[in-house]
Chains A and B, each alone.
Chain A
Amino acid sequence: MRRTFTRVLPQLLTLAVLMALVTLFFPQFLAVDYQGGRLSGPVIDVLKRGAPVALLAVGMTLVIATRGIDLSVGTVMAITGAAAAWAIASGWGAGTAVLLALAAGLVCGLWNGCLVAVVGIQPIVATLILMTSGRGIAQLITEGRILTFNDPGFAWLGSGILAGLPVPVFIWILTAVAVAILMRRTALGLLVEAIGINRSASALAGVNARVLLIAVYMASGLCAALAGIIATADIRGADANNAGLWLELDAILAVVIGGNSLLGGRFSVAASVLGAMIIQTIDTGILLAGFPSEYNLVIKAGLVLIILVLQSPNLASEWYFLRRSLTQRREPKPVPSRVKE
């Protein structure tokens, strides 16, 4: 617990500073009120709206820990959402729809995992294939339209209230906690990190790298399916064209803001979901602050860049040497010993 806390401290600080910043522009940001059995307020919105990216980030963290990347998650959201909507439209009921969507997510993950682990295609390219063609599959299911449905049970997953909070909040927090426990209470975390750092050495030590890789992509598919279910339930319709569009980039950003290395190895799920909340705070903050929409991208890019630069471990050492070289005479530059091969 202590260790997790120190690990996510930079992310917590970032989040706090960011919230303070948003409050400057929009003073009621932290206001929460309670009426009609539900909490509401911008912070609650952040928690709820951040659900898809947080879920994607959980799966993405595992994939990135194995030194991979999964560009297809946004598309998988569209596919699973379409599958769920189709199931409901065909009268199968909410439970079946959820199961079908989860199964579809697993199948997508299996496909990616096989391309990466069995065929040996590099992860970016392997998942790029599903990223481009998967949206076609989703559109094939919905025939290009927004497949709407009216099933209160399923819609509850997207916009329902449980104990005063939106249901998606519970879904992402439970998923993150479950995955974190699964990784740290079993040996999975260690094995995943091992194959991420040195796959061939791990395989020689008897780690089943192939199966683990496939499993990790399937986990990512499963998380994307949950995100897809939430997105679909939220608007009571499957929008194959737009569901999850470009969310993979937000998810990757979240993982990196969470301090996880894109080169694989050590990972923290908690930090990643905090990263997702940081991104959502930026997004919601931009909406609330009321700038014209053509500034959205620049503001977001600027803030993300500042956060990443401040978190960069090299910045501290650069500062140190800059200050020293101002006082002393010039000395050779450091070799970042972090960069391992």
Chain B
Amino acid sequence: MTVNPRLYPLLATIGIFMLAYLVCWMQFPYMLSTRVVGNLLTDNAYLGIVAVGMTLVILSGGIDLSVGSVIAFSGVFIAVLLRDTGLHPLAAFAILLAVTTAFGAAMGGVIHLLAMPAFIVTLAGMFLARGAAYMLTIESVPIVHPFYETLKNAYWLMPGKGRLTLIAIVMLLAVVAGALIAHRTRFGASVFAIGGGEQTARLMGVRVGATTVGIYAFSGFMAGLSGIVFSIYTSSGYPLATVGTELTAIAAVVIGGTLLTGGAGYVLGTLFGVLTMGLIQTYIVFDGSLSSWWTKIVIGVLLLLFILLQRGLLRVSSLRA
């Protein structure tokens, strides 16, 4: 059976991740413990969720720079809401998700109606969301609620003491949901179509406006969900949290094999992109000898290495085909 060339970038991503894990494992045998695997999933849960939203945005040829700020805003919003009102966290979640989804939809609307580049609209969105977080509070607000305790302590103890936490499971579910939406619905098909060429998509009958609004609303929803997960992860809301997360998410999506120009990619690839970013972090912590500045340099170099490897693999496979 021959492999469809469409799958090459995805396979390359997964292959490189496996290879990288192997290299890490040979250096630190402990890397293969369920504990490390569980940590990898839990620690990157919020990133994975937001990256799924980002994948759809990038598939449509857009970009969403606001997500990092939206995560911070979400945490602050929930924390303040729980502190100042007697709402149940679930109600707070519902309100928050409505707010962030509407925020995303509004950005999508501006992008479409005013034909403004997504980069700029979401950049303004990034300032706005963080500014809104500041206006709610400038301090970090702890979340104390019995329900949060339950959420925090919900995990499945894997053999070997690793924990598969609730938020990790939420992340995996988000990936599955994202994959189904992107690859198995008409909405997803429209997203790919817009990424392939907006004008063409329009002529093929895509409702570009509605789809654009939907895409950014989805990203806003995912950022809100990621904010919830992050607030569970840290039991607090902090307006300065997750600065620059949008760039990490974009990098993860790109490493996951999605083209930044839009129209080609897989949500599953994004999961591996996120895990790769997490692996780089873990490796650096395990190593523990890098100074602050070398940490930055090494992260950059590893990022470049992954991208080059991926391109190399793709070139080789396209030559063979």
List residues of A whose CB falls within 8 A of some B CB.
69, 71, 115, 119-122, 124-125, 128-140, 144, 249, 252-253, 256, 261-263, 294-302, 304-305, 308-309, 312-315, 318, 335-336, 338-341
Contact = CB atoms under 8 A, between A and B. Distances in A.
Contacts of B110: 309
A133 B300 CA distance: 5
Contact of A305 (B124, B135, B301): B124
Nearest to B259: A122
Given A308-B124, A339-B199, A301 B131 contact: yes
Contacts, number: 142
A25 to B, nearest CB: 18
A298 B300 contact: no
Given A124-B250, A315-B114, A130 B300 contact: yes
B127 interface: yes
B161 interface: no
Contact of B297 (A140, A144, A341): A140
Given A124-B260, A256-B117, A137 B297 contact: yes
B285 interface: no
7 smallest A-B Cβ distances: which pairs?
A: A133-B300, A136-B296, A298-B131, A301-B127, A297-B131, A139-B293, A136-B297
Interface stretch (B1-9, B29-37, B302-310): B302-310
Nearest to A133: B300
Which of B117, B261, B296 has the most chain A CB atoms inside 10 A of its CB? B296
A294 B134 contact: yes
Contacts of A139: 292-293, 296
A256 B135 contact: no
B300 A129 contact: yes
A262 B114 contact: no
A125 B134 contact: no
Contact of A298 (B132, B260, B296): B132
B128 interface: yes
A132 B299 contact: yes
21 contacts: A119-B311, A121-B307, A124-B63, A125-B254, A129-B304, A129-B307, A134-B300, A135-B293, A135-B296, A136-B293, A144-B291, A252-B120, A295-B131, A295-B135, A297-B128, A301-B128, A304-B127, A305-B124, A312-B114, A318-B113, A339-B115
B313 interface: no
B163 interface: no
A253 B28 CA distance: 45
Nearest to A122: B260
Given A133-B297, A298-B128, A128 B250 contact: yes
A131 B114 CA distance: 30
Given A132-B296, A304-B124, A313 B307 contact: no
A101 to B, nearest CB: 19
B98 interface: no
